[in-house]
A and B are shown apart, each in its own frame.
Chain A
């Protein structure tokens, strides 16, 4: 199973709302990622979790709050977003760098299309 699932597929939220994006993988990967992608651009890394601990935060505003409840799940909590936060949010997973013998390719979910009104 090489599937990463994300819910919801689409989300429209106002600037005062609180919502969460969810991501799940069952490939036994111990690194999970959140990316933001604007149209016709490469994904921009937001957060990395390695062995359920936050290892990278790419100076993301605090209105985005990640959470990794267990090795299969990754959440992104959203609060007081701005219209410029509208984008495709991608989750990915891979084996972590610290695990030797792996090839480290990332598997991506289909994304959540977020619109902030």
Chain B
């Protein structure tokens, strides 16, 4: 069975600085998708970034980028120029491609605090 591990329950970063959130996963599959979701306090969970396992190029969305290391089964999220609005719970998630079911597997989350 697949697992997703986020080893940092909480992190803090100064506004305008760069922060990296860690995520590792375990799978025997070769084709899958990885996601980072953001859930601000009392607000909606939104997709931040998506990575297809077959793509070697790391995904980037504005200030958010990932470092995808398939052999190491690592998928970290880098947030550049941190802003107060980035304060949220961040969940790393895994989904099979062509698997038997429609489940997404979530990590336990990392709560990110932005210090003004």
Measured CB to CB, the residues of A under 8 A from B are 31, 33, 40-43, 45, 48, 50, 55-56, 90, 94, 96-97, 100, 103-111
Please indicate the chain B residues that have their CB under 8 angstroms from the CB of A105 in the complex.
33, 35, 47, 50, 95
User: Which A residues touch B35, using CB under 8 A?
Assistant: 105
Q: Is the interface of A mostly helix, strand, loop or mixed?
A: loop
Verify A103–B44 contact, CB threshold 8 A. no
Which residue of B46, B50, B101 contacts A108 across the interface (Cβ within 8 Å)? B46
Known contacts A104-B95, A105-B35; A97/B43 CB under 8 A: no
Q: Contact: A108 with B44, CB < 8 Å?
A: yes
B45 A55 Cβ-Cβ under 8 A: no
B104 to chain A, nearest CB (A): 6
Interface pairs (12), CB distance under 8 Å: A31-B102, A40-B89, A42-B91, A42-B106, A43-B45, A43-B106, A48-B102, A55-B101, A96-B102, A105-B35, A107-B47, A110-B44
**Residue numbers in A under 8 Å from B47 (CB-CB):** 105-107
Interface centre among B46, B106, B108 (most CB of A within 10 A): B106
For chain B residues 83-106, which have a beta carbon within 8 Å of chain A?
A: 89, 91, 95-104, 106
A97 touches B100 (CB 8 A): yes
